[in-house]
Every structure is written in structure tokens, then in C-alpha cells.
């Protein structure tokens, strides 16, 4: 089974988690694209969605799904998003697409975070995927030096600006064995907008598309 087929299987399974007429949160990335398409093709009609990226918002609108600003909604019933890495504790590294800040905001206002991934994202420990960190442009050098002091090797994501007008540093070799502590420590660096560790608020449910079907973890 191809990775795309695994992503589609996880995405279709997530459609079953959607309550009709609800307002939901939608993340970003290729797995979420499959979720948006699967939702639009299903019988389920939602009231509206809050999107974590402009790309996802545009795809939702193309399917005729209303997109709302996060400030105009209360709590969302569910947030569906992918991940770059996820563990058995449902802690994640996210931000490969650079949408980590809005993803963290939408996840924060949702009751349930349903993570959908192909099998390659399912890991025993976080840290092989470089950790994305969104940084205010004037703080790039300062944040880079602070990351080096923590043992990281930061690299500027060339030619990339986030939906919020900021930069991304992709950091290798940080010790992510204590993800909650590291997430807090990185948040404390002046100029860091968001880091791609999602450990303080992990997923509530994981749907992994595999060659033998969709595996579910809570």
C-alpha cells in the first residue's frame, strides 16, 4: 500500500469522528488535504470550519465549506490534523508545512484532537524529524544561538515565510526525550513564536493508516 493510500485510509476514518452540523478545526498538510476531500465527499455536512493554514482554508472553500475566524467561534468539537512524528503518548512533532502556530492555536480551542498519519510517522521517540520553530525575523540570530546552547543545530528554512509573516528554523539534534520540558524551555526563548513540539497538548486520538487497515490509539 502506498503512503498516499495509508494517508487516505486514516483521513477517511477521521470523517467518522465528525458530528453533523458542528464547527470543526482543520489542520494542514497532505493528509489533511485528503481529510478535507473525504469530508466533502461524505454525507456529513458541517456548519463551518476553522482552518490552520491559508492553503487548507482555500481547499475547504473550494468544496463549499464555510471557513470561520478562530475569534468568532467558541470551543470546537474536534480538530483533525496530521503530524511529522507521533509517539504512543500521542506527543508530536509538527510544522513540516510551517503552519505550527495556527495549528497549536486551533488545537487549543478544540475538545478533541484527532491525529491522522501514515505509518511512517509512528515513532518510538521524537527527534529524527528536524524540529520546526517559528521565529520573529529580528530574533533569528538570537534564537539560533540559544538553540545551539541547548545542543541543537538550527537551519533557516530558505525562501519560506509563515502565514504570520515569520521565519522557520528547523532544528536537528535537540534532545526531545522530555518533550514537555523541552516545549516549555523553547517557548521561553525571546523571539520564539511557537515550537513544533505538541506535548503539553498531545492528541486525544491517533488514527494510523497501515497496510492492514487503520489502527486506533487513545
Which CB, 83 or 171, lies closer to ligand 5RP?
83
| CB atoms near residue 145 (< 10 Å) | 11
Name which of residues 92 to 151 contact ligand 5RP (CB under 6 A): 94-100, 103
Minimum CB–partner distance for residue 196 and ligand 5RP (Å): 7
Tell me how far apart the alpha carbons of residues 62 and 81 are, in angstroms, rounded to a whole number.
19
Tell me how far apart the alpha carbons of residues 13 and 119 are, in angstroms, rounded to a whole number.
14
12 given a catalytic annotation? no
Could you give the dihedral angle defined by the CA atoms of residues 109, 6, 20 and 88, in that order, rounded to the nearest 10 degrees?
Answer: -40
Residues 78 and 24: beta-carbon distance below 8 Å: yes
Q: Does 13 bind ligand 5RP (CB under 6 A)?
A: no
| CB atoms near residue 19 (< 10 Å) | 12
User: Which is catalytic among the residues 12, 85, 103, 205?
Assistant: 103
Tell me how far apart the alpha carbons of residues 40 and 61 are, in angstroms, rounded to a whole number.
10
User: Among the candidate windows 9-17, 82-90, 139-147, 165-173, which touches ligand 5RP by CB under 6 A?
Assistant: 82-90
- Quickly list DSSP for 42-55: SS---SEEEESSHH
Which CB, 8 or 94, lies closer to ligand 5RP?
94
Q: Would you say 159 is a known binding-site residue?
A: no
Q: Which of 27, 154, 179, 191 binds ligand 5RP (CB under 6 A)?
A: 27
- As annotated, the active-site residues are 103
* Residues making contact with ligand 5RP (CB under 6 A): 27-31, 81-84, 94-100, 103
Binding site residues for substrate, as ranges?
A: 28-31, 81-84, 94-97, 121
Amino acid at each position: 500500500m502506498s503512503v498516499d493510500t495509508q494517508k487516505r485510509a486514516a483521513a477517511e476514518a477521521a470523517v467518522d469522528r465528525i458530528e453533523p452540523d458542528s464547527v470543526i478545526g482543520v489542520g494542514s498538510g497532505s493528509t489533511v488535504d485528503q481529510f478535507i476531500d473525504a469530508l466533502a465527499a461524505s454525507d456529513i455536512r458541517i456548519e463551518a470550519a476553522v482552518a490552520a493554514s491559508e492553503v487548507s482554508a482555500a481547499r475547504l472553500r473550494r468544496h463549499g465549506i464555510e471557513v470561520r475566524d478562530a475569534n468568532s467561534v467558541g470551543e470546537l468539537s474536534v480538530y483533525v490534523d496530521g503530524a511529522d512524528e507521533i509517539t504512543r503518548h500521542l506527543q508530536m512533532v509538527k510544522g513540516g508545512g510551517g503552519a505550527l502556530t495556527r495549528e497549536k492555536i486551533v488545537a487549543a480551542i478544540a475538545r478533541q484532537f484527532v491525529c491522522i498519519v501514515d505509518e511512517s510517522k509512528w515513532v518510538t521517540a521524537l527527534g529524527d524529524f528536524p524540529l520546526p520553530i517559528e521565529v520573529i525575523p529580528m530574533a533569528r540570530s538570537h534564537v539560533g544561538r540559544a538553540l545551539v546552547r541547548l545542543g541543537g543545530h538550527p537551519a533557516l528554512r530558505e525562501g519560506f515565510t509563515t502565514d504570520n509573516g515569520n521565519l522557520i528554523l528547523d532544528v536537528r539534534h535537540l534532545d526531545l526525550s522530555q518533550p514537555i520540558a523541552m516545549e516549555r524551555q523553547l517557548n521561553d526563548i525571546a523571539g520564539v513564536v511557537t515550537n513544533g513540539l505538541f506535548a503539553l497538548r498531545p492528541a486525544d486520538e491517533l488514527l494510523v493508516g497501515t497496510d492492514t487497515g487503520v489502527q486506533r490509539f487513545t
